[in-house]
Chain A
Amino acid sequence: MKEYKTITRVAGPLIFVEKTDPVGYGELVKITMPNGDVKSGQVLDTSENMVVVQVFEGTSGIDLNSMVKFLGETIKLPVSDELLGRILNGAGKPIDGGPEVVPEELMEITGAAINPYARANPSDFIQTGISTIDGTNTLVRGQKLPLFSGSGLPHNEIALQIARQAKVRGSNEGFAIVFAAMGITNEESQRFITEFEETGALKRAVVFLNLADDPAVERLITPRMALTAAEYLAFRKGMHVLVILTDMTNYCESLREIGAARSEIPGRRGYPGYMYTDLAMLYERAGMIKGKKGSITQLPILTMVGDDITHPIPDLTGYITEGQIVISRELHSRNIYPPVDVLPSLSRLMNLGIGKGKTREDHKQVSDQLYAFYAEGKDLRGLVAIVGEESLSERERRILKFAADFEAKFVKQAKSEDRDIERTLEIGWRLLSELPENELTRISPELRKQHYGKH
């Protein structure tokens, strides 16, 4: 295999190589620096007279005397059962002191799209033990449901609580966990790993770590590695896999960095125009396949820049994922854990996973009714701030109280509290029973008769 010493330009994370034999798009590249260090990269643009390579470990130390070798293949992840329990770096190399993974197979990390015709409709209710998720924004197997959070909010605790408590009722199978860290701090990553060790989850987990001081460009392959491992475990080994990706904001920053280095025409806020497609290539790798036992459920975490949900990262994510769980700074500052703001939160697949035979017949209607009153209650709070509570009607005062109770009893729970769905609905009914029965317009008369005031 030929080596080239024809680097003509280095810019940010990119190197430009001239006078090569034909090089394939997306090929893996090895760069040997004069001091003998080796870096790896990938072809971003190839033509007869110039090849552009993005270098995963950053370009520091690369000069015009560095040697470039094109490997003639794309990036692959060695996969086998042995991946479980291992900690790897963002590029898929073990960093836990253990041996190299002996591959059963090498899998392309880009991943192909699941044929929509081959997909199975996700419909298995996952009980997370958190009322605001189970009760009002239900997660189902095969869903991608991100946590929209902000810096300083307890999204990691929530993700860990979900990972710890998540189960499908009536089945003993636990979830295998694939955890991909992108640019999070060492401290945060340690907390995840300690928790995985303590709960014994590490045995069933594959951990990919790209920390804050690791090369930023490597972040672009970390989630792809993780999802490839997840696909292997789910669709080859029949496991139910929960993938936690944190923090997607750092991933997108890296994407922007590459775009800028290539002098591409930027889209909104400088992010590349293809960010939607790029994110979709990751998120869409969740799902279930007809006739296959396993599933991939995704729980990406992203911190919203300035808590702005219209920022391109949460915005594009929300258009791809099947809903979102929004973490609220306001609830957090009032010491309510988990500070999930149910109003902007949503689970699009909720209706597939709930109801008679899955959770309970009244689930949907209770959820809608809670939503409706809580939304009204929150509006009234704004009104009270202007006109005072005295000028409210009797009904409005009751709803105002409902909103407060809802936050204190339904939303708030302990970090170790694992509420089953019956308990969650029971709390819901108790709150609703404080209001006159004829106000429950979202609930059918029969269900009202069955549950109103009975809990």
Chain B
Amino acid sequence: MAKTGKIFRVAGPVVVAELEAGMYDVCKVGKERLLGEVIQINGNHCTIQVYEDTTGIKPGEGVENTEQPLVVELGPGLLSSIYDGIQRPLQVLRNITGDFITRGATAPGIDRKRKWDFKAAVKPGAAVKGGDVLGTVRESETIMHKILVPPSVSGKVTSIADGSHTVTDTIGRLDNGTELRMMQLWPVRKPRPVKEKRLPDVPLITGQRIFDSLFPLAKGGVAAIPGPFGSGKTVAQQSLAKWCDADIIVYVGCGERGNEMTEVLTEFPELIDPKTGKPLMQRTILIANTSNMPVAAREASVYTGITMAEYYRDMGYSVALMADSTSRWAEAMREISSRLEEMPGEEGYPAYLSTRLSEFYERAGRVTTLSGTEGSVSVIGAVSPPGGDFSEPVTQNTLRVVKTFWALDAKLSQRRHFPSINWLTSYSLYFEPLAGWYEENVAPDWVEHVSRARFILQEEDKLLEIVQLVGSDALPEREQVTLLVARMFREFLLQQNAFHPVDTYSELKKTYLIMKTILHFADLAKIALDSGMRAQRVVAIKAKDRIAEVKFEKDYEKLLGDINKDLEKEFSGLK
């Protein structure tokens, strides 16, 4: 018999009810049975954040406590889906309520009718424990969904068989009577258990030159992309979601624009994964809680996302989660906290902001799963600091936990330098741990090349300060050439056009060869200057301009080969 109570007060998304409940119990509020979650208990009154609009709800209406925490449904059918913040499938909702989301509509997160071909991987008699693979289901052309024993379950299998089943059908039994199904539930606010956490030492290859070269992210790592509006956060997040080499992508649109989610929805099914040759949508789960959808569901959306990410990680996949934007999530916390009249911390954010942020980011990582395989969840969180001011609480608290920091710069985006990542303020603490991997898998002198490029870009910054004072003509010849090389790095390497069919993805080899060619030019220029050549003549070298074309070229190796030859020819002609 469920516990029931009645509503005492309604103020926006927060409802106070006379109800017996535990923290984070899910409740059904009012006549329309709107979904809500208990977030504060005060004597016999508890405060419930409601995931839907509360207009028209009256004091005195009933509340029912389900005595369950907020859970997500995990099982085959998640991929290619688009959900709101509390895992209601938006496609199904449209069929129920039409083009606008109205209240009280519910639909299960995973289709109950669809049948999947289950292939058992264990035989009756086998002893299984939490996290073990019971069998597999082909979820999409590229992803084999492993049906796992729920973490808290163990025993000896008494029956299990291949067959076509829905997610709620019983596919087998354990000796202690537990019925095995393809779907399991998991509370969103509780991290799924692992055997151990491991240090990340494999890069998440993004196909974006500036990330892969200067500021790499490891599989299982965490990165933050802060930037003021219009600096390209969303384009950067979407490029990562499209091209990074994770097996599974969870994209959480948290309090962002409706039209942007539509863009993702229209574009992803048409894009082809360079690794598998199949539509990108087949490896993607979208969670769309746009800015005008209920604020409490926005708060829940990142947890819904990371729980799904952990589930696929437990199957041994590498998962990347994009959260756009974590600031909207933090603001949802602030909004609810202020409705609770809690004592605020910095800038009105609740004092527990830092705890929540670090708890969330700690759910990322490279792990050994319960069944002993390796999996990872990488988290890339966009941050939208008010006024582009990085000293605000969300950015600062995020910086404390992330290892890779991709600072977006409005100045760069204004001059259409995209991705507008500032190469001077960004950093990655994964550069060194990943050095070995790059040296082994791309080129032995990778680290040396990247370090030189970095050095020249820093050098440019210093020189530009001098230019500000004395003008560029007053610089010594060698420095003038340094400025030229730095400009080449910026334009030919760092800038990348996300909307160009070829340039949108740059493989590591291409990134490497572009770096190498520019440095080759720098070396030749140095020799020329040393032998008394004027900087003007180096600047006039024609072949170098053609490096600009490389990023748009499919057959870049041939083109770069030609350019390198021409560079040498032109330089030797100078003498």
Q: Name which residue of chain B comes closest to A355, CB basis.
A: B499
Most chain A CB atoms below 10 A, which of B99, B100, B410: B99
Q: Name which residue of chain B comes closest to A440, CB basis.
A: B548
User: A26–B56 contact, CB under 8 A?
Assistant: yes
Chain A contacts of B8 at CB under 8 A?
47-48
User: B473–A119 contact, CB under 8 A?
Assistant: no
User: A392–B472 contact, CB under 8 A?
Assistant: yes
Q: Does A64 contact B (CB under 8 A)?
A: no
Q: Does B347 contact A (CB under 8 A)?
A: yes
Which of the residues A23, A24, A116, A383 comes within 8 Å of B82, measured between beta carbons? Answer: A116
User: B386–A22 contact, CB under 8 A?
Assistant: no
CB proximity of A109 to chain B, nearest CB, Å: 11
Q: Does A110 contact B (CB under 8 A)?
A: yes
Q: How far is the CA of A275 from the CA of B102 in the complex (A)?
A: 22
User: B94–A310 contact, CB under 8 A?
Assistant: no
User: B295–A274 contact, CB under 8 A?
Assistant: yes
Q: Name which residue of chain A comes closest to B92, CB basis.
A: A117
Most chain A CB atoms below 10 A, which of B57, B61, B257, B288: B257
Q: A1-9, A79-87, A313-321: which lies at the B interface? A: A313-321
Q: Name which residue of chain A comes closest to B549, CB basis.
A: A445
CB proximity of B502 to chain A, nearest CB, Å: 11
Q: B161-169, B328-336, B364-372: which lies at the A interface? A: B328-336
Q: Name which residue of chain B comes closest to A391, CB basis.
A: B471
> Considering the complex, which residues of chain B in the window 444-497 have a beta carbon less than 8 Å from any beta carbon of chain A?
467-474, 491
Q: Does B182 contact A (CB under 8 A)?
A: no
Given contacts A25-B11, A287-B258, A393-B473, contact A276 B99 (CB under 8 A): no
Q: A215-223, A364-372, A427-435: which lies at the B interface? A: A364-372
CB proximity of A449 to chain B, nearest CB, Å: 13
User: A119–B57 contact, CB under 8 A?
Assistant: no
CB proximity of A228 to chain B, nearest CB, Å: 12
Which of the residues A113, A283, A312 comes within 8 Å of B100, measured between beta carbons? Answer: A113
User: B291–A320 contact, CB under 8 A?
Assistant: yes
User: B262–A24 contact, CB under 8 A?
Assistant: no
User: B101–A281 contact, CB under 8 A?
Assistant: no
Q: Does B53 contact A (CB under 8 A)?
A: yes
Chain B contacts of A375 at CB under 8 A?
414-416
- Give the total of A residues in contact with B, Cβ under 8 Å: 85
Q: Does B545 contact A (CB under 8 A)?
A: yes
> Considering the complex, which residues of chain A in the window 233-271 have a beta carbon less than 8 Å from any beta carbon of chain B?
235, 264-268
Most chain B CB atoms below 10 A, which of A121, A272, A319: A319
Most chain A CB atoms below 10 A, which of B97, B102, B258, B331: B258
Which of the residues A116, A310, A441 comes within 8 Å of B262, measured between beta carbons? Answer: A116
CB proximity of A168 to chain B, nearest CB, Å: 17
Chain B contacts of A119 at CB under 8 A?
258-259, 261-262
Most chain B CB atoms below 10 A, which of A27, A264, A320: A320
> Considering the complex, which residues of chain B in the window 12-62 have a beta carbon less than 8 Å from any beta carbon of chain A?
12, 16, 53-61
Q: How far is the CA of A286 from the CA of B260 in the complex (A)?
A: 12
Which of the residues B10, B260, B291 comes within 8 Å of A47, measured between beta carbons? Answer: B10
CB proximity of A45 to chain B, nearest CB, Å: 4
- Give the total of B residues in contact with A, Cβ under 8 Å: 82
User: B99–A115 contact, CB under 8 A?
Assistant: yes
Q: How far is the CA of A286 from the CA of B290 in the complex (A)?
A: 13
Q: Does A59 contact B (CB under 8 A)?
A: no
Which of the residues A24, A122, A235, A273 comes within 8 Å of B55, measured between beta carbons? Answer: A24
Q: How far is the CA of A265 from the CA of B341 in the complex (A)?
A: 7
Chain A contacts of B415 at CB under 8 A?
343, 371-372, 375-376
Which of the residues B97, B348, B552 comes within 8 Å of A273, measured between beta carbons? Answer: B348
User: A322–B257 contact, CB under 8 A?
Assistant: yes
Which of the residues B91, B101, B260, B348 comes within 8 Å of A267, measured between beta carbons? Answer: B348
Chain B contacts of A324 at CB under 8 A?
230
Q: Does B274 contact A (CB under 8 A)?
A: no
User: A393–B472 contact, CB under 8 A?
Assistant: yes
> Considering the complex, which residues of chain B in the window 226-270 have a beta carbon less than 8 Å from any beta carbon of chain A?
228-230, 234, 253, 255, 257-263, 265-266
Q: How far is the CA of A121 from the CA of B415 in the complex (A)?
A: 27
Chain A contacts of B338 at CB under 8 A?
264-265, 267, 272-274
Chain B contacts of A143 at CB under 8 A?
259
Which of the residues A26, A121, A266, A368 comes within 8 Å of B263, measured between beta carbons? Answer: A121
Contact with B along A56-67 (1 / 0, CB 8 A): 000000000000
> Considering the complex, which residues of chain A in the window 314-370 have a beta carbon less than 8 Å from any beta carbon of chain B?
315-316, 318-320, 322-324, 343-344, 346, 348-349, 351-352, 364, 368
CB proximity of B170 to chain A, nearest CB, Å: 32
Which of the residues B56, B293, B331 comes within 8 Å of A276, measured between beta carbons? Answer: B331
Which of the residues A277, A285, A286, A396 comes within 8 Å of B335, measured between beta carbons? Answer: A277
Q: Does A414 contact B (CB under 8 A)?
A: no
User: B414–A387 contact, CB under 8 A?
Assistant: no
Contact with B along A169-193 (1 / 0, CB 8 A): 0000000000000000000000000
Q: Does A46 contact B (CB under 8 A)?
A: yes
Q: Name which residue of chain B comes closest to A369, CB basis.
A: B416
CB proximity of A61 to chain B, nearest CB, Å: 27
Chain A contacts of B54 at CB under 8 A?
25-26
Q: Does B519 contact A (CB under 8 A)?
A: no
CB proximity of A346 to chain B, nearest CB, Å: 4
Q: Does B388 contact A (CB under 8 A)?
A: yes
Q: Does B196 contact A (CB under 8 A)?
A: no
Chain A contacts of B177 at CB under 8 A?
none
Q: Name which residue of chain A comes closest to B286, CB basis.
A: A116
Chain B contacts of A281 at CB under 8 A?
292
User: B56–A24 contact, CB under 8 A?
Assistant: yes
Q: Does A165 contact B (CB under 8 A)?
A: no
Which of the residues B229, B260, B344, B414 comes within 8 Å of A318, measured between beta carbons? Answer: B229
Q: How far is the CA of A441 from the CA of B503 in the complex (A)?
A: 14
Give A residues with C-beta under 8 Å from B.
22-27, 44-48, 74, 110-122, 142-143, 235, 264-268, 272-274, 276-277, 280-281, 283-287, 289-290, 292, 309-312, 315-316, 318-320, 322-324, 343-344, 346, 348-349, 351-352, 364, 368, 371-372, 375-376, 383, 386-387, 391-393, 396, 438, 441-442, 444-445
A-B contact sample (4 more), CB < 8 A, given A24-B10, A44-B11, A116-B258:
A311-B387, A343-B414, A343-B415, A372-B416
Interface pairs (12), CB distance under 8 Å: A24-B55, A24-B56, A45-B9, A46-B10, A48-B59, A116-B253, A118-B100, A265-B338, A277-B255, A280-B290, A289-B99, A310-B386
